[in-house]
Amino acid sequence: MTDRYAVLGNPIGHSKSPLIHGLFAQATGQDIAYTAIEVPLDGFSETVLAFRAGGGRGLNVTLPFKLQAFEIATDPSERARLAGAANCLKFDGERILADNFDGVGLVNDLQRNLGCPLAGKRVLLLGAGGATRGALLPIAAEGPALIAVANRTASKAHALQRDFAAHAQLQSGGYDDLGGQRFDVVINATSAGLTQETLPLEASVFAPGAVAYDMVYGKGLTPFLQQARAAGVSRVADGVGMLIEQAAEAFAWWRGVRPETRAVIQQLTVPLA
């Protein structure tokens, strides 16, 4: 029998998840059907429960429902709990298991695909929202020399530092607090790439040989990546690899087999120009 999975979001027409999971299923010989479902803004819980009642096995969850995905879970992972958000659900009888694979996807893309090990590196995350929350534990697990979080409102970065104090040692503050510091990996976890907004970032934050990574994907050279290029950074990347790597983690969680990702990344990559 074909097992049913889906991605929930609003809007959802842009989602690459059905294509990605279809390619994974073909490559691994898994018999699944995967669809995209646009959910009414006030209908998330009802949609999840109806999908489960209809025999659905699991769900990916994208904006704006990641917080609600965490709230509906009976068994959230520690990653999901600390992020306060989930991007993947799995059904086991009456139990709803939840996890957050965004940070794992980011780390896998940086280390496996981009050849950027994080151990001993100075890492800067821009933004103190859900994307950063989801990334902190997986990054910390790799043993960087420093993790810094900078946000326009410094108090939000400080709050994040307090929330993760038992799990990771963070430096936190506003963009103005970065003066004189250089970082080996600079990650834009804000929505600036979607709004074409320029961040108040000094060129000096990029260390020689730094990697600049924007979690936004498919937008070419975002303003952040343009800033990095202008600062002399040659190694820039968008979030397409993160998208596909987190999908691979979800697929492995659901199906017990982890698909190869490189060919799918090559297929979906948009040139950074």
Q: Which of 194, 160, 156, 188 is nearest to 84 (CA)?
A: 160
E-assigned strand segments in the chain: 3-9, 32-38, 58-61, 75-76, 88-92, 95-99, 122-126, 146-150, 170-173, 183-188, 206-214, 235-237
Amino acid at 217: Y
Any idea what DSSP says for residue 199?
P
C-alpha–C-alpha distance, residues 211 and 209, integer Å: 7
Any idea what DSSP says for residue 94?
T
Could you list the active site residues? 66
Q: Is 64 left (phi over 0), alpha (psi -120 to 50) or beta?
A: alpha
Q: Which helix (H) or strand (E) holds 106?
A: helix 102-108
